[in-house]
Amino acid sequence: MSDESEKVVPKQELHTFVVRAMEAVGLQSDRGSVLADLLVSADYRGHYSHGLNRLDMYLNEIKSGTASKENKEPDIVKESAGTALVEGNNLIGPYVARFCMDLAIQKAKTAGIGFVSCRGSNHFGIAGWYSLRAMEQGFLGMAFCNTSPMMVPPRGTTRTLGTNPLSLAAPANNGDSFVLDMATTAVALGKAELKDRKGEPLPSGWTVDKSGHETHDFKNLHGLMPLGGKEESSGYKGYGLAMMVETFCGILSGGAFGPFVRQWKAFERPANLVSLLLFGQCFIAIDPSQFEEGFTDRMQTLIDACRDQPSADKDPVLVPGDPERNHMELCDKLGGIPYHENQITFANEIAATYKLAPMKTL
Amino acid sequence: MSDESEKVVPKQELHTFVVRAMEAVGLQSDRGSVLADLLVSADYRGHYSHGLNRLDMYLNEIKSGTASKENKEPDIVKESAGTALVEGNNLIGPYVARFCMDLAIQKAKTAGIGFVSCRGSNHFGIAGWYSLRAMEQGFLGMAFCNTSPMMVPPRGTTRTLGTNPLSLAAPANNGDSFVLDMATTAVALGKAELKDRKGEPLPSGWTVDKSGHETHDFKNLHGLMPLGGKEESSGYKGYGLAMMVETFCGILSGGAFGPFVRQWKAFERPANLVSLLLFGQCFIAIDPSQFEEGFTDRMQTLIDACRDQPSADKDPVLVPGDPERNHMELCDKLGGIPYHENQITFANEIAATYKLAPMKTL
């Protein structure tokens, strides 16, 4: 263990705990298992905000009826050789999203590319999990999701778009890869929360207050700035990218979009308005063998050119996916995922609430 | 005219001047006409850096042999229902790129989506021109290009990737639209040049010196920062987006990529290495009718939600494409495109060099 206040949980132990917890609110274990795969992957990759930390949110989605525990499948509403429109039927996000990515992969096998847009889904966790699923089968994978409105456009005052993440995973040689998984806001809300907890001011280009002007004070935070920050540093580009993600998700699919997506952690279900509580998502798989031979060699050469240059200071130059790679190596050494003791307490509280055997630590 | 030092040139006059100039270096008029369409569109949309301003570069591409004036066509190397790999045969960029976008549109008509990656192309001007071509036929259009290495990755010191632009055009109602056309660097080099000409320091998050550290001094400029600027403001995201564009362009197509793309305005042609001087590009067309009906209505609703919110100061909130829309309206009022007198002088010098009738101004 790297820290006194940390405890290590084997991945399998976390997995079975998630399945048990979701069973306690009535979700079938095969579906809970998909969610568990996702949450384990998030924490293993070091995206702690999107792993175990979110378990209560997925429990609440089911308990509130925002997500359905019915034994239904997502429906393919419309399809062509390279595209599909999917209705998620309000099922849990990872179940819908995995279905969509598998459909995109299937289409890419014959049409070279598959592009699937879905509506009626719920929180799908880290976008990278779906891109990686395509990559593990030799494809380029992409995933997109609209999210609760948090971004205020440059010059504006209203939370109009979400953090709208996008992801691309592309294979290189010997298990190496390029894995981009990013929000289109400058930072996610969690980063601002972390600064606040440390008593530090919010950095330039992160957040705005109700008047639409930059704030460095967490208590005045009204919205997030897009990637690029203020207008002078091209915040309108991050804003455009968030609109691009929304175009692929809510606009193409006919689900909720932009300011009409549910507020963060809103589980109330207004009668007949449940569709406004759901998310739109998009998945792309591309078959590199339909292009010039030797894709992974060229990808590796580019990755190496990035990593192998002299660094400005002492920190090595990384490519997207390297921080996650480093974290997974740490976990493998430790024999599991290291958690702050507060997160273990949080899991134990869930165990007590639902009368489950608690998660064992090493 | 809006300014004493400006002169207005009717679009048709600019068009015929470009065709005449390209004929003078031996390019057939039908191909020169494609380039002229592109350059007129760039200036009409207000992207002056990529219009008439670039004419000498296209002339030099032909004169130096970097681009071929032979009466060849691009070749489809490989294709599937939804994808194609194109060899540009070293023809002028707009001719190759238009061919590729038309192929993507054709594939989208049957497969729902067309994704075309090409190599062996030359400078293709504004990415938005190709996206708009798809949009004008009712599709979502996207275009990407790798460019000369100018971006230094976060923590690094080496110009490893280009400004690698990406574009998405999506139709709304009554001619309204969302048109994103952006470099994945914080700014293009031209913006830094402009600051220097005004004697102003370079803003935060734009540029680095040879040591990889931020510089505000134009004379120390070694490279551009990615969108997002420094690490704290998420510059690694813009860096990841530039790698995404490179993946679609040079890596998939098997052309030059990353640090191996030719340096900016390098026209020397090393024997047997011409392929390293050429660019890779990528074009996507998506048929919105393959998804939920009413795409343009929803796009319009999102656009309106962005524009119609209270603004933080006096400037109205824009959506990507609005600055261009405003500039086109200005041109329509003026009866042509307004140019600074230096640009007219520049065009007259080209006319003198190639013994052409000069461009007439209003």
**pLDDT 10s digits, B171-217:** 999 999 999 999 999 999 888 988 998 999 999 999 999 999 999 99
What is the predicted pLDDT for the residue at A265? 54
Written as one letter, the residue type at A76 is: I
Are the beta carbons of A290 and B317 separated by less than 8 Å? no
For chain A, the maximum distance between any two Cα atoms, rounded to a whole number of angstroms, is 59
Q: Which ipTM was obtained for this model?
A: 0.96
Report the candidate in B114, B57, B70 with the shortest Cα–Cα distance to residue B96.
B70
Cα separation, A103 vs B272, whole angstroms: 44
Residue A328: pLDDT band (50, 70, 90) is very high
Question: Of the candidates A81, A251, A295, which has its C-beta nearest B302's C-beta?
Answer: A251
How far, in Å, CA of A19 to CA of A3, rounded? 28
Q: Which residues of B touch A321 (CB under 8 A)?
A: none
Grouping H, G, I as helix, E, B as strand and the rest as coil, residue A141 is strand
CATH 3.30.60 segments of chain B: 187-224
**Closest CA relative to residue A36, chosen from A54, A63, A16:** A16
User: Between 2.60.40.10, 3.20.20.80, 3.30.1370.60, 3.40.50.2000, what CATH number should domain A77-183+234-320 receive?
Assistant: 3.30.1370.60
d(CA A171, CA A177): 5
The beta-carbon neighbor of A160 closest among B228, B258, B309 is B309
Order of strands across the sheet that contains A166-171: A75-79, A83-87, A113-121, A279-286, A140-145, A166-171, A177-182
- Indicate yes or no: CB of B312 within 8 angstroms of CB of A211: yes
SS3 per residue for B262-299: CCCCCCCCCCCCHHHHCEEEEEEEECHHHCCCCHHHHH
The CA radius of gyration of chain B, in Å to the nearest whole number, is 20
Q: Which of B158, B206, B234 sits opposite A186 (nearest CB)?
A: B234
Q: Residue A34: pLDDT above 90? A: yes
Position A1 pLDDT exceeds 50: no
Contact B113 A234 (CB under 8 A): no
Pairing of strands B83-87, B113-121: parallel
Alpha-carbon span A250 to A259, nearest angstrom: 11
How far is it, in rounded angstroms, from Cα A197 to Cα A190?
Answer: 10
A275 touches chain B (CB under 8 A): no
Pairing type for strands B177-182 and B337-340 reads unpaired
Spell B82-102 as b/e; 16+ CB within 10 A means b: bbbbbbbbbbbbbbbbbbbbb
If DSSP codes are grouped into helix, strand and coil, which group holds residue A342?
helix
Of A81, A238, A305, the CB nearest to B110: A81
Considering only CB atoms, B243 lies closest to which of A112, A180, A317, namely A180
Cα gap A224→A209, rounded to integer Å: 9
pLDDT, tens digit, 9 for 90 and up, residues A156-205: 999 999 999 999 999 999 999 999 999 999 999 888 988 998 999 999 99
Q: Which of residues 197-256 of B touch A (CB under 8 A)?
A: 203-206, 208, 211-213, 227-229, 232-234, 236-241, 243-244, 246-247, 250-254
Of A168, A211, A253, the CB nearest to B247: A168
DSSP B55-116: HHHHHHHHHTTSSB-SS---EEEEE-SSEEEEE-TTB-HHHHHHHHHHHHHHHHHHHSEEEE
Q: Which residue type is seen at B94?
A: P
Query: CATH 3.30.1370.60 in chain A, residues?
Result: 77-183+234-320
Give the mutation candidate from A225, A251, A260, A289 for the B interface (greatest B CB count, under 10 A): A251
Inter-chain touch A244–B168, beta carbons under 8 Å: yes
What's A1-64+321-361's CATH class? mainly alpha
Name the minimum distance, in Å, from the CA of A44 to any CA of chain B: 21
How far apart are alpha carbons B75 and B120 in whole angstroms?
10
User: Cβ–Cβ of A294/B320 closer than 8 Å?
Assistant: no
d(CA A208, CA B120): 45
Q: How far apart are CA A122 and CA A255, in angstroms?
A: 11
Query: Hey, is the C-beta of A163 within 8 angstroms of any chain B C-beta?
Result: no
Q: What is the mean pLDDT of residues A251-259?
A: 94
Do residues B306 and B150 make contact, with C-beta atoms less than 8 angstroms apart? no
Cα–Cα nearest to B50, from B116, B129, B160:
B129
Question: Measured between alpha carbons, how far is A126 from A216 in angstroms, rounded to an integer?
Answer: 28
Q: Residues with Cβ < 8 Å from A182, sequence gap 6 or more?
A: A165, A166, A167, A227, A320, B234, B237, B240
Please tell me whether residue A158 adopts helix, strand or coil conformation: coil
Contacts of A313 in chain B (CB under 8 A): 155, 212
Residue ranges of chain B that CATH labels 1.10.1530.10: 1-64+321-361
Chain A residues in contact with B228 by the CB 8 A cut-off are 186, 227-229, 238
B322/A274: higher pLDDT: B322
Decide if B186 and A228 are in contact by the 8 Å CB cutoff: yes
Inter-chain touch B83–A182, beta carbons under 8 Å: no
Are B257 and A157 inside 8 Å of each other by CB?
no
Whether A310 and B117 lie within 8 Å, measured CB to CB: no
The confidence score (pLDDT) of residue A271 equals 43
Which residue carries 């990889």 as its tokens?
Answer: B212
Arithmetic mean of pLDDT, A335-360: 96
Coil, strand or helix at B145: strand
Confirm if A45 and A58 have CB atoms less than 8 A apart.
Answer: no
Considering only CB atoms, which chain A residues are within 8 Å of B119? 292
Q: Return the amino acid letter for A49.
A: S
Q: Do A309 and B243 touch (CB under 8 A)?
A: no
Query: What pairs with residue B6 in β-bridges?
Result: B340
Cβ pair B111:A81 closer than 8 A: yes
What average pLDDT does the structure give for chain A? 94
Tell me, yes or no, if B85 comes closer than 8 A to chain A by beta carbon: yes
Least CB–CB distance from A317: residue in B153, B259, B315: B153
**Shortest CA distance from B306: residue in chain A:** A160
Decide if B83 touches A, using CB distance below 8 A.
Answer: yes
Q: Are B142 and B105 in contact (CB under 8 A)?
A: no
Minimal-distance CA residue of chain B relative to A249? B291
Helix (H, G, I), strand (E, B) or coil at B326: helix
Contact of A140 with chain B, judged by CB distance below 8 Å, is answered with yes
Q: What is the DSSP letter of A185?
A: B
Residue B354, min C-alpha distance to chain A (Å) = 39
Q: Name every chain A residue with its beta carbon within 8 A of the beta carbon of B250.
A: 298
> Of all helices (H) and strands (E), which one includes residue A66?
none
Measured CA to CA, the distance from residue B337 to residue B11 in angstroms comes to: 7
Residue A236, H or E segment: helix A235-246
For residue B21, the distance in angstroms to the closest alpha carbon of chain A comes to 35
Q: Give me the count of residues in chain A.
A: 362
Nearest-by-Cβ selection for A315 from B155, B180, B311:
B155
A47-99 pLDDT tens trace: 998 999 999 999 999 998 889 999 999 999 999 999 999 999 999 999 999 99
d(CA A56, CA A308): 42
Question: How many A-B residue pairs are in contact by the CB < 8 A criterion?
Answer: 287
Query: Domain B187-224 falls in which CATH fold?
Result: Wheat Germ Agglutinin (Isolectin 2); domain 1 (3.30.60)
B61 Cα to chain A: minimum distance (Å): 26
pLDDT of amino acid B190: 85
A286 vs B157: CB contact, 8 Å cut-off? no
Which stretches in chain B have pLDDT values below 70?
1-4, 264-277
B58, B59, B60, B63: CA torsion to nearest 10: 130
Residue pointed to by tokens 């981009």: A180
Residues ≥6 apart with Cβ < 8 Å to B349: none
Which of B:301-320 have CB within 8 Å of A? Answer: 301-302, 305-306, 309-313, 315-320
The whole-number average pLDDT for the span A313-326 is 96
Mean pLDDT of the region A240-245: 98
Disruptive mutation site among A75, A80, A163, A324 for chain B (greatest number of B CBs within 10 Å): A80
In this prediction, residue A275 has a pLDDT band, given cuts at 50, 70 and 90, of low
Q: What is the pLDDT of residue A66?
A: 87
Give backbone dihedrals phi and psi of A83, rounded to 5 degrees, phi first. -135, 160
